Chains A and B, each alone.
Chain A
Amino acid sequence: MKKLSAIFITTALLVFAGGCLNVFRKTDPDVSKKSAEIRIGARELTENFMFDEDSANSRYLDKIILVEGVVNSIATKEEVITVYLKNEEDISGVQCNFNPGSIDINSISNGQQIKVKGVCSGFLLDVVLNRCTLEKE
């Protein structure tokens, strides 16, 4: 009986500790495992922000967005890899920021049509998506 309750208490403690760790040590939520809430083209998303930023903010902020567009440039700086989705003739586009290790930059090239999933942070000169992952067909 004593043995049983010891096992029970240990199990309960372990579950509780696991729960605490989950809540307090959640790091870098894996966007790749979550499904996109919105699917949209890079140009359409950018235009929505350019024409009415307030309403675009309420529609897209913090949402996981799957955006499809043409790679305009790829840049690596410090701890971020930035893939810029923009048509050549457009002024603004979508800035997709990847954490290192979440993308192989050799797998994409300028001019290629790609799909990227990320969390929308808002609009400065471009629409900003963070914690991105590359979507394979």
Chain B
Amino acid sequence: MKNNVIILILLFTFQLVSAQKLICKDGHIWFYSHTPIEDIEAHNRQVVAVLDPSTGELLFTLLIKSFEFKKELMQEHFNENYMESDEYPKAGFKGTIENFDPGDFKADGKHEVNVSGELTIHGVTKHVSVTGALEIEGGTIKAKSDFVVKPSDYDISIPDLVKDNIAKEIEVHVEVLFKQ
């Protein structure tokens, strides 16, 4: 068992190194819920992101419990009542950058991109297409995107008592930095 796992990890590492994939372990994803009653925001600064600059493949994974709220009570409700993070500890995205040229990553510049793939939240996977931007500067690639997620699309039910406090559409912001 132990040996199998080690072999798997070695293969995984070898593949990462051989394919020159870029890894970021401290990506930042944050979200806003805006309603006339209340504004809520939470930040996750431990997002793992992997980018393959030769194919444009992009992978994000994060821990739901790593979202930090200003109020501990909100964080508890978010984890226990809405996201059920004991059952679904992670959320993730696997997709590709559609309109890009591998050569784009070699020179400094800014590029608007379209990204599409599978977004998994709360155990529900949906196909999504979003726009984003890549900023290449001195060997680093900053990837940014802003998009909207509807909790109802991912079977996240909000109790009637607080449904006016939580937006129907949550604004999500992504910012990760890859070092080449």
A residues whose Cβ falls under 8 Å from a Cβ of B: 23-29, 50-51, 57-58, 61-62, 75, 77-80, 82, 91, 95, 97, 121-126, 128, 130
Contacts and interface: CB of A to CB of B under 8 A. Distances in A.
B5 A50 contact: yes
Given A124-B62, A130-B68, 5 more contacts: A24-B73, A91-B13, A125-B25, A125-B48, A128-B66
Contact of A29 (B28, B72, B85, B89): B72
B73 A23 contact: yes
- Chain A interface, >50% SS class: mixed
Contact of A95 (B9, B25, B62, B73): B25
Contacts of B66: 121-122, 128, 130
A30 to B, nearest CB: 11
Contacts of B63: 121-124, 128
B58 to A, nearest CB: 16
Contacts of B72: 26-29
Given A24-B73, A26-B72, A91-B13, A97 B45 contact: yes
Contacts of B25: 95, 124-126
A124 B61 contact: yes
A78 B46 CA distance: 12
A95 B46 contact: yes
A62 to B, nearest CB: 7
Contact of A79 (B9, B23, B45): B45
Contacts of A58: 86
A78 B30 CA distance: 13
Interface in B27-50: 28, 43, 45-46, 48
B1 interface: yes
23 contacts: A23-B73, A24-B71, A24-B73, A29-B72, A50-B5, A50-B9, A51-B2, A77-B26, A77-B45, A78-B28, A79-B45, A80-B45, A95-B25, A95-B46, A97-B46, A121-B65, A121-B66, A122-B63, A124-B25, A125-B25, A126-B25, A128-B63, A128-B66
Nearest to A121: B65
Contact of B26 (A25, A27, A75, A91): A75
Given A77-B26, A82-B26, A128-B63, A122 B90 contact: yes
Contacts of A80: 26, 45
Interface string B40-82: 0001011010000000000001110110101111000000000
